[in-house]
Structure formats: C-alpha cells, structure tokens
Amino acid sequence: MENSIKKKLILIGGGGRGNSYTKIGKDLGKFELVAVAEPIKCRREYIAKLHGIPENMCFESWEPLLELGKIADAAVIATMDRDHYAPAMKAIDCGYDLLLEKPVSPDLSECEEIEAAAKAKGVNVLVCHVLRYTPFFRALKKLIDDGKVGRIMNIDHIEGVGNVHQSHSFVRGNWGNSVRSSFMLLQKSCHDLDILQWLIGKECKRVQSFGHLSHFNERNAPADAPERCFDGCPHLESCPYSAKKLYIERKNDGNWFRSSLTKHLDVVGDDVAMEALKDSPYGKCVYKLDNDVVDHQTVNMEFEDDIIVTFTMSAFNLGGRRIRIMGTEGELIADAGSPIITYNNLLTQTTEQINIDDAIASDSIVSGHGGGDSGIMCALYDLLEGDADAGMLSNISISVKNHRIVFAAEKSRHEGRIVELCELD
C-alpha cells in the first residue's frame, strides 16, 4: 500500500493494547503512527523506535500532545479504564475521530457525556468491542440473521476467564481492584453482554445478577505461605499461581505476562523479570493482595419478545467462551476455540457440523482476540475512508447502550434484586 493513502494516528497510552493496535495498523500497511503519549520511558521509546516517531512527537502524557490540536486522522486512546474520559473529551474537542478502549468509563454519566460530545462535534468514536470483529462471532451472527434458529428463545453463554489469567490480570494485575480500575463485569465481560445484545438484535428489559470473590482472598491462603512467592514459600513449585511458574518458567508463552510485570513491551531476560518481581504485586501471594473484583458471576437477562439469556463469568476453568443459542427452528452450539459450530435442525431433527474455517481464511484476520484486533483496525480505516457502515458495528452509541446492561447487572448484584433497564434513565 502506498504511503499516500495511509491514515495518520496518534496514540495515547502506549501499553499492551495501544502497542497492539498501532503495530497491527502498521503491519496492515494502512496506518502511520505520528505521535505517542506514554509516561513509561521504555514503552515510549519502544513505540517511537518501532514507528520511527521523532523525539518532539513523543510525550510523557496526553495533555501536551492534544495541545497541538488535530495533527492526525484519528486518535487511539488506550489508557487505563479510569483514564479514558479526560483525553477522550479533549481529543473530541480537537476534532479527532477516536478508537477508544473499553470500558468507555466506569461512570455511566461520563460514557453518556463522551457520546454527546462526539455527536455535537460530528466525530466518530469506535469502541474496542473486538469480539464483534472476529470471524467466529460474525459467523454466528450470520447464521442467526439467515434464520437458522428461527425465533431465538434462549441463549446460554459462558466466559471462561481461566484461573491463571484471573490471577494475573484480575488479582495481581491492573484490574484486581475496582477502585483503581473498574468492576469485573464492566472491564472483562462488557464484551460478552455487548455480543449477546448484538446477536439478539433486541432491547434488554431487565437483569438479575449474583457474583462473589470467593477464592482469591486471604481466607484461602495456605497457613505457611509468606507474603511473596520468593520469600521461601513452600508451595513455589506446586502452586498454579507461583510467580516462578508464571513469570520465569512460562516466558515462552508470549511476552504478555512479562510485559505487565516489567513494563517492557519487548522481550526481556529472566534477570529483569526477577528484579521486577521483588517489589511488584506480581511477586505477591495471590491470596494476600488488595483485589476486590469477583471471581465468578452470573447475569440473567430478559430481552424483548420473551428472550431469556443466561451469562456466566468464571475464573475456574482453562479459559475460553462457549455459547448455546436455542430457537424455535434450530439450535447452535459453539466454542470460540473451535472452527466447528454444531447446528441441530429442529424441523428435520438432523445435526450438521458447520465448519467456519472458510470464513476465517477468507477474512484474512489472523491476530489478537481471534482476529478481532485486526478486524477493528480495518473497520477504523474504512470509517476514515468515508465508509459510514464500518463504524456502525461498535460505535459509541451502541457501546453506551450495552454498557447500560452491565451497569444494571452490577446494580442488581449489589442490591440483590431484579433491575429494570429503565431505572438507569
């Protein structure tokens, strides 16, 4: 692709997500990153080098970058959950179209303010509900829209977070404490409630939720476990959450875990990881942290037309999403880790195994979140090229609407009662 048709981006928040999106944009040949705002020096320098950004376009925070006004086609905002609102509002004011990480904000009124500001300014805000852009969920959506299941009656959907992923991100990591980040259903499962609403294509009316933090707490700490894994813990070799296993021995699984620990986006050695483990929460016993987000939760949802949906989020599995969609004419059973969708035809009483490999191959989406990360970067490009439909899939209004289901469910969990969506109006 010629340079002349590349779209220019600025990046606010050069961590794991910001690095992924901008690297994918570069690799696709569709985007050029022209400026970065990131306080952590090694991250800022890594991104600057990768994209050839001059020093005067590298900033320690978003404010001076946005003081320059609009210098690119779009801004990627990939700061932490509570740090989306301020740069998003300023970037909108500058006239930027945005690729904005989810959750839009842990405060519903801030979500609505961003939506209103974007509308008033006439800019697009694409929220990173990357599941919508995966070949897997696109294939399911098409089967539903083609009428394979008839009228949907029930959906059962499970989000297996995985016990190790839970311990890394939602106990030791950025998202363990809801005051510092946001609550579990919003930060992790807003993708799932979004995808369910998208598949059904109708309004959610009311919700009910249970959820607890029952395992990753002090009550479950072995009596002989010290505060930190390397302070002589007798379970160092056997505990599934041992820092030695996850951050030293598991390093070849990818750089993701180590990057959170060391802050380096590139591959670093054991010595750097060991040094970081000395005072980082990633070196602490998983049962002795200040985490407060739930480790298992359910949400029951009632949609228009008597459609009933159950959603389960649980840490206690190896990870992965499973869905079962039941309608008057057919049933779809699918596992996001498999290219085969089982289709039970209720009219002919036959079973078909639908292979969505073809959909994946023809989509040319191959990386990150089952192809979702590349998919959303392609949609952003098309949107900036003037294809309005490209932005429809996860624009800010759709996202805010689906965030409302999440906020209602969390209210239900706290108040122990069914919550009507209209209560949030």
Ligand X SMILES: NC(=O)c1ccc[n+]([C@@H]2O[C@H](COP(=O)([O-])OP(=O)(O)OC[C@H]3O[C@@H](n4cnc5c(N)ncnc54)[C@H](O)[C@@H]3O)[C@@H](O)[C@H]2O)c1
* DSSP secondary structure, 149-211, as one string: T-SEEEEEEEEE--HHHHHIIIIISTTS-TTTS--HHHHTTHHHHHHHHHHH-S-EEEEEEEE
- What is the β-pairing status of strands 7-12 and 204-212? unpaired
Closer to ligand X by Cβ: residue 129 or 296: 129
Angle between helices 41-51 and 16-27 (to 10 degrees): 0
| Of the candidates 273, 192, 182, 263, the residue with the CA atom closest to the CA atom of residue 230 | 273
Q: Where does this chain touch ligand X (CB under 6 A) — which range of 32-40, 225-233, 270-278, 391-399? A: 32-40
Please, which residues have CB within 8 angstroms of residue 138's CB and are 6 or more apart in sequence? 132, 359, 363
What's the token pair of residue 109? 């009124």
Q: How far is it, in rounded angstroms, from Cα 164 to Cα 146?
A: 38
Q: Give the nearest distance from C-beta 54 to ligand X in angstroms.
A: 18
- The yes or no reply on residue 15 touching ligand X (CB under 6 A) is yes
Q: Where does this chain touch ligand X (CB under 6 A) — which range of 37-45, 88-96, 197-205, 239-247? A: 37-45
Total number of residues shown for the chain: 425
- Backbone angle region of 207, left / alpha / beta, with phi > 0 → left and psi within -120 to 50 → alpha: beta
Closer to ligand X by Cβ: residue 148 or 321: 321
Closer to ligand X by Cβ: residue 19 or 209: 19
Q: Give the nearest distance from C-beta 143 to ligand X in angstroms.
A: 24
One of 9, 17, 161, 343 touching ligand X (CB under 6 A):
17
Q: Where does this chain touch ligand X (CB under 6 A) — which range of 7-15, 160-168, 336-344, 350-358? A: 7-15
Closer to ligand X by Cβ: residue 293 or 301: 293
- The yes or no reply on residue 254 touching ligand X (CB under 6 A) is no
Q: Give the nearest distance from C-beta 67 to ligand X in angstroms.
A: 13
Residue for token digits 């159950």? 310
Q: Where does this chain touch ligand X (CB under 6 A) — which range of 38-46, 149-157, 311-319, 408-416? A: 38-46
| Of the candidates 151, 281, 270, 287, the residue with the CA atom closest to the CA atom of residue 213 | 287
Please, which residues have CB within 8 angstroms of residue 221's CB and are 6 or more apart in sequence? 285, 287, 288
Residues between 48 and 87 that touch ligand X (CB under 6 A): 61-62, 78-81, 83
Q: Where does this chain touch ligand X (CB under 6 A) — which range of 10-18, 91-99, 349-357, 377-385? A: 10-18
What x/- string results for residues 128 through 157 when contact with ligand X is judged by CB under 6 A? x-x---------------------------
Residues between 171 and 190 that touch ligand X (CB under 6 A): 174, 187
Percentages (nearest 5) of helix, strand, coil residues in the chain: 45, 20, 35
| Of the candidates 66, 97, 95, 200, the residue with the CA atom closest to the CA atom of residue 145 | 200
- The yes or no reply on residue 43 touching ligand X (CB under 6 A) is yes
- Backbone angle region of 69, left / alpha / beta, with phi > 0 → left and psi within -120 to 50 → alpha: left
Residue for token digits 């990131």? 38
Query: Are the C-beta atoms of 234 and 286 separated by less than 8 Å?
Result: no
Q: Give the nearest distance from C-beta 55 to ligand X in angstroms.
A: 17
Q: Give the nearest distance from C-beta 304 to ligand X in angstroms.
A: 27
Q: Give the nearest distance from C-beta 418 to ligand X in angstroms.
A: 28
- The yes or no reply on residue 38 touching ligand X (CB under 6 A) is yes
Q: Give the nearest distance from C-beta 341 to ligand X in angstroms.
A: 22
Closer to ligand X by Cβ: residue 105 or 314: 105
Summarize as ranges the residues that interact with ligand X (CB under 6 A): 12-18, 37-40, 43, 61-62, 78-81, 83, 101-102, 128, 130, 174, 187, 369
